[in-house]
Amino acid sequence: MLRPATPGDRPQLIALALAEDAAWSGAPAVSAEEAGELIDPFGRGVVLDRDGRLAGHAACGEGGEAILLVDPADDPGPALEALVAWLGERGHHEVVTYARDTRRIAWLEANGFTHRHSAFDLQRGIDPPPPPAVWPSGVAVARYRPGEDDDAVHALIYVDAAWGEVPGHTQRSLESWRSMVTPDYRGWVARRDERPVGWVAGRVFSDGRGWLKQIAVARCARRLGLGRALMLHSLADLRSSGAASFGLGVRADNENALGLYRDAGFEVEREWREYARPTPIGPPAGGAA
């Protein structure tokens, strides 16, 4: 049965996310800590409870994002039918899947969904060490100061850098962005003439995986090599903090970013696909005729 998810479901949801990744990613296992960070930004949503075993999960997040998990040991059809319907009732008509999950893809295509775009998790070892960052003239970098820098960095990311206009990026409120940059993250702010023009944040998970969460460059400071400098600076910082490998996520159609990361030695580790179907015309369920 479908029921509202509760805080007590979190361990089983993490286990469900890890089971999906083991079944469909074709990549080395990630930590429970990293899986938890995948599910935490979304609302609690619902779970498909089968006699105390969580067989599925769906939840909605800010900016139109949604998550859908299904136990890979089960026939996915019944769970997908219930969870996709729940998302659709809330205006979400997109579903993300591993590219290797052929059963989910077959179900989606049979139910009117089409492939819209792909996204990659990229991976790089720590050796050879990334080259040192070379900063554009007049740019200085300093550690991010939580609380003190929040408003300026948020404006840099979502206004000056137009983050939400980039394929695969989500527009976030100040509160939502603050919750995303937890104390585990190490942020750096690049300034020119005392004004923020660049931002990067990364962290090291418990298994040694260094994750680059976010890079943003103001439109007025692009084509100067600042994005590359921010990336290399963060990688060096994560390496000195104990990272044993590096990872990051990028949309496949974000060609500029993908080229930058490949040039730095990153390779595709996982592929995700987003499927969508046409939005129904008319009032939502329960609305006025």
**Could you report the per-residue pLDDT of 143-194, keeping only the tens digit for each?**
999 999 999 999 999 999 998 887 777 888 999 899 889 999 999 999 999 9
Do 50 and 96 reside in the same domain of the chain?
Answer: yes
Do 108 and 143 reside in the same domain of the chain?
Answer: no
Do 16 and 95 reside in the same domain of the chain?
Answer: yes
**Could you report the per-residue pLDDT of 83-105, keeping only the tens digit for each?**
999 999 999 999 999 999 999 99
Q: Does position 283 have pLDDT exceeding 90, yes or no?
A: no
Provide the pLDDT for residue 289.
Answer: 25
Q: Does position 16 have pLDDT exceeding 50, yes or no?
A: yes
Which amino acid, 38?
L
DSSP secondary structure string for all residues of 139-202: EEEEE--TTTSHHHHHHIIIIIS-GGGSTT-----HHHHHHHS-TT-EEEEEEETTEEEEEEEE
Of the candidates 56, 77, 112, which is a domain's last residue? 112
Provide the pLDDT for residue 284.
Answer: 46
Provide the pLDDT for residue 285.
Answer: 44
Do 23 and 98 reside in the same domain of the chain?
Answer: yes
User: Which pLDDT band holds residue 267 (cuts at 50, 70, 90)?
Assistant: very high
Do 71 and 189 reside in the same domain of the chain?
Answer: no
Do 184 and 245 reside in the same domain of the chain?
Answer: yes
254-269 average pLDDT score: 95
Provide the pLDDT for residue 288.
Answer: 33
Chain-centre distance of CA 143, in angstroms?
Answer: 23
Provide the pLDDT for residue 280.
Answer: 64
Do 219 and 88 reside in the same domain of the chain?
Answer: no
Provide the pLDDT for residue 164.
Answer: 84
Distance CA(72)–CA(276), nearest Å, equals 21
Do 15 and 97 reside in the same domain of the chain?
Answer: yes
Provide the pLDDT for residue 286.
Answer: 41
Structural domains in the chain (count)? 2
68-86 average pLDDT score: 98
25-34 average pLDDT score: 96
Provide the pLDDT for residue 204.
Answer: 98
Do 134 and 260 reside in the same domain of the chain?
Answer: yes
CATH number at residue 17: 3.40.630.30
Residue 119 lies in a domain: no
**For 95, phi and psi rounded to 5 degrees?**
-135, 130
Provide the pLDDT for residue 166.
Answer: 79
Identify the domain containing residue 247 by its residue range.
125-270
* Averaged confidence pLDDT in the chain: 93
Residue 242 lies in a domain: yes
Provide the pLDDT for residue 43.
Answer: 82
Q: Does position 21 have pLDDT exceeding 80, yes or no?
A: yes
Do 64 and 190 reside in the same domain of the chain?
Answer: no
In degrees, rounded to 5, the angle at the alpha carbon of residue 192 between the alpha carbons of residues 211 and 204 is 10
Stretch among 33-42, 120-129, 167-176 having the lowest mean pLDDT: 167-176
Q: Does position 65 have pLDDT exceeding 90, yes or no?
A: no
